[in-house]
Amino acid sequence: MEIQLGLNWHLGHGQPERLEMELFDLLHSIKERGSLQAAARENGLSYRHAWGLMQKWKALLGQPLALLERGRGASLTPIGEKLLWGQRRISARLGPDLDSLASELASELHGLIHRDPLPPLRIFASHGLAVPLLRDLLQARADVSVDLQFRGSLDSLRLFAAGKCDMAGFHLPVGTLGARLAPRFSRHLDEVADQLVKVVRRRQGIVTATDNPKDIHNVGDLVRPGIRFINRQPGSGTRLILDLLLEDAGIEPQRIGGYNTEEFTHLAVAAMVASGAADAGFAIEPVAHQFGLNFEPIATEDYWFAVRREDMAGIAQGELLALLRSPEYRSAISGLVGYDAASAGEVYKVSQVFPQQGNNRSTPRHT
């Protein structure tokens, strides 16, 4: 079972009018194509219908959303731009939460509707673009219900150790950055009871407006006067990486304007920068590409699933492992800029990823 939750907009004075969601698609296409006719064609609308939408909202708001000039194409007005970026920011901020709630509810309904169903595969995971893609492919390919909830890397591992989920998704930089962060992660893993499955390799870095107008290339540039930064929440793997980079550079976090302004997903960070509400953020490469932003690579990292060894033979886990190793998954991942799935589906002992873990056992698990 699949549930999709969405947002409805109501706009205007007195009794606000419901805003047609196709208007946002039309505004986006006008911005990209510079033509109402081309925008209408791209969205499968007649020119008459597209023109009518624009005139309707011009009348309701008292201002046009786009300038339509014969022979000179079309361009968004400031209010059209603000409306479009507002929608993208809200979708980026709330979309993952809505997906998590929909996934949780679908799993609960699945258990009530189907007799003797397979229990849903519950995954708590750090936000990224590969994991929801993997969920969708798995549910389309096999009769497996997946309850995916986005949380920070450390929170996902903590809840995994407490027996609250079947798998935990987290990301760890390669090299010295990862070695220094390792103790924060490995404390929640058990060398004997757990195994790690590689999902994807990806890059994180600084995202800025197109053409990088403020010439921001590294964390040292973030302290310059007037630079507005958008951060990730405490406990997220991205925040941990940034704080280490600042420590290495000898930078006090509070010197950065906006350090305490936080978003909970990579998409929301990119949307803030794209809308002009921030000059820079720290995020994964494909969201920069998605929003047409400049990307300055800083760290390469691996995304992992933590799985209990005894669960690896489970039906849902087996299907997931097979999917990770499939050409279908690698083909889907190839569409995400900066993602590499060449080693996806490889299984490791905890001590192979966290050598300092050795043969130590973590605290007893709660089940």
**CATH number for position 42:** 1.10.10.10
pLDDT at residue 279 in the model:
98
Torsions phi, psi for 60 (to 5 deg): -70, -35
Same structural domain, 283 and 209 = yes
Average pLDDT, the chain: 90
Report d(CA 5, CA 21) in Å as an integer: 14
pLDDT at residue 107 in the model:
67
Parent domain of 55: 10-76
pLDDT at residue 110 in the model:
65
Task: Determine, yes or no, domain membership for 70.
Answer: yes
Are 258 and 229 in contact, with CB atoms under 8 Å apart? yes
Same structural domain, 121 and 247 = yes
Average pLDDT over residues 162-190: 96
Residue type, 279: D
Same structural domain, 179 and 316 = yes
Q: How confident is the model at residue 114 (pLDDT cuts 50, 70, 90)?
A: low
Residues forming a β-bridge with 284: 204
Same structural domain, 167 and 316 = yes
Range among 11-20, 69-78, 340-349 with highest mean pLDDT value: 340-349
Same structural domain, 22 and 99 = no
Task: Determine, yes or no, domain membership for 3.
Answer: no
Query: Considering 50, 76, 102, which residue would you say is the last residue of a domain?
Result: 76
**Crossing angle of the two packed helices 153-161 and 237-248, in degrees rounded to 10:** 120
Task: Determine, yes or no, domain membership for 292.
Answer: yes
Q: How many structural domains does the chain have?
A: 2
Average pLDDT over residues 199-213: 97
Same structural domain, 122 and 70 = no
Same structural domain, 60 and 206 = no
Residue with the two structure tokens 């279908």: 328
Task: Determine, yes or no, domain membership for 201.
Answer: yes
Same structural domain, 137 and 63 = no
Asked if pLDDT for residue 284 goes beyond 90, the answer is yes
Residue with the two structure tokens 């993952």: 96
Task: Determine, yes or no, domain membership for 83.
Answer: no
Query: Considering 47, 76, 105, which residue would you say is the last residue of a domain?
Result: 76
Asked if pLDDT for residue 61 goes beyond 70, the answer is yes
Task: Determine, yes or no, domain membership for 206.
Answer: yes
DSSP 311-331: GTTSHHHHHHHHHHTSHHHHH
pLDDT > 70: percent of the chain: 92
Torsions phi, psi for 359 (to 5 deg): -105, 15
Task: Determine, yes or no, domain membership for 283.
Answer: yes
Same structural domain, 134 and 231 = yes
Average pLDDT over residues 354-359: 69
Asked if pLDDT for residue 171 goes beyond 90, the answer is yes
pLDDT at residue 360 in the model:
46
Of the listed ranges 138-152, 276-290, 299-313, 340-354, the least confidently predicted one is: 138-152
Report d(CA 163, CA 155) in Å as an integer: 12
Residue 134: name the closest of 338, 322, 3, 347 by CA. 322
CB neighbourhood size of 134 (10 A)? 27
pLDDT at residue 97 in the model:
75
Query: Considering 18, 45, 76, which residue would you say is the last residue of a domain?
Result: 76
Same structural domain, 124 and 189 = yes
Asked if pLDDT for residue 337 goes beyond 60, the answer is yes
pLDDT at residue 111 in the model:
66
Range among 62-76, 282-296, 349-363 with highest mean pLDDT value: 282-296
Are 165 and 148 in contact, with CB atoms under 8 Å apart? no
CB neighbourhood size of 288 (10 A)? 28
Same structural domain, 131 and 276 = yes
Task: Determine, yes or no, domain membership for 363.
Answer: no
Q: What is the CATH number for 272?
A: 3.40.190.290
Token code pair at residue 276: 């002009």
